[in-house]
């Protein structure tokens, strides 16, 4: 079993910053891909940023230059630094991890979600 805990969401004014964290615990041998998704109110979930085990990153066009994804393999944790936040960044943010388990099976896991609200 793998348990994900997200933290760092909250309410900020436009132009502010937040840092999200997602820590995995349990039967983790290694985490392969790490991703952040978000789901704005009334809209579908969308990929925001991803980082591979080799630290290659990819971003949605809407967040390029403002968001930075990073990972700490020793802590099985992925981060999302969000700067210059805009009201349209308001959403529930989810981490999504591809985990190599100690059993050598690979499974995907979603975090519980954390609310980010940006006011104008």
Tokens standing for residue 87: 């009201």
Nearest in space to 34 (alpha carbons), one of 58, 10, 3? 58
Computed over every residue of the chain, the mean pLDDT equals: 96
> Residues 67-81: what's their mean pLDDT?
97
Chain centroid to CA 91 = 12
Say what the pLDDT of residue 44 is.
Answer: 97
Q: What is the pLDDT of residue 91?
A: 98
The structure tokens 């099976």 sit at 105
pLDDT-derived band at 78 (thresholds 50, 70, 90) equals very high
SS3 (DSSP) at 41: coil
Quickly count: other Cβ atoms within 10 Å of residue 73's Cβ: 12
């Amino acid at each position: 079993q793998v348990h994900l805990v997200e933290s760092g969401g909250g309410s900020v004014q436009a132009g502010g910053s937040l840092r999200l964290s997602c820590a995995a615990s349990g039967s983790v041998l290694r985490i392969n891909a790490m991703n952040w998704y978000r789901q704005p109110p009334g809209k579908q979930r969308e990929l925001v940023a991803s980082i591979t085990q080799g630290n290659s990153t990819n971003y949605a066009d809407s967040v390029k230059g403002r968001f930075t994804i990073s990972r700490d393999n020793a802590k099985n944790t992925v981060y999302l630094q969000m700067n210059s936040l805009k009201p349209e960044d308001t959403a529930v943010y989810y981490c999504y991890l591809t985990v190599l388990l100690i059993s050598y099976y690979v499974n995907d896991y979603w975090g519980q979600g954390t609310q980010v609200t940006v006011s104008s």
